[in-house]
Amino acid sequence: MSVIVLACLYAGGAFCQEAGVEKGVMYDPIFWKDDLKLKTEQCSEIKAVNFEFYERILDTYEETANDRKALDQAIVECSNHRSQQIWEIFSPKQRRKWTKLWSERYSRDDG
């Protein structure tokens, strides 16, 4: 199961780099709940979205274990759906803060 989770994170990171997602939520924002000032209800909603995301990935893996292309496509689609759901949970102020956090911490050109 940890292999699947790592594959999901790898695929999500690869998708994010390829697509240049600016408004995407590729990482779990609960890690930054203090910075984002997430309410308890928002944290619960995000946890539910994450649970659904991993359930969908596992279901897809079971259905398409021998079809890597289909699995990769499903991971991208699930990641996009998860990202959109979390984005909608954020308030406008939290969206601005997330975009700022993302650009400061992860969008730097290191080379």
For the segment 79-94, what is each residue's pLDDT rounded down to a tens digit? 999 999 999 999 999 9
pTM, two decimals, is 0.71
Q: Domains of the chain: which residue ranges?
A: 2-105
How far lies 99's CA from each of 21, 73, 107, in Å? 10, 26, 10
Residue 72, CB half-sphere, CA atoms under 13 Å: how many? 8
Q: What is the pLDDT of residues 5-60, one digit of tens each?
A: 444 544 444 444 433 444 577 788 888 899 999 999 999 999 999 999 999 999 98
| Other Cβ atoms within 10 Å of 32 Cβ, number | 17
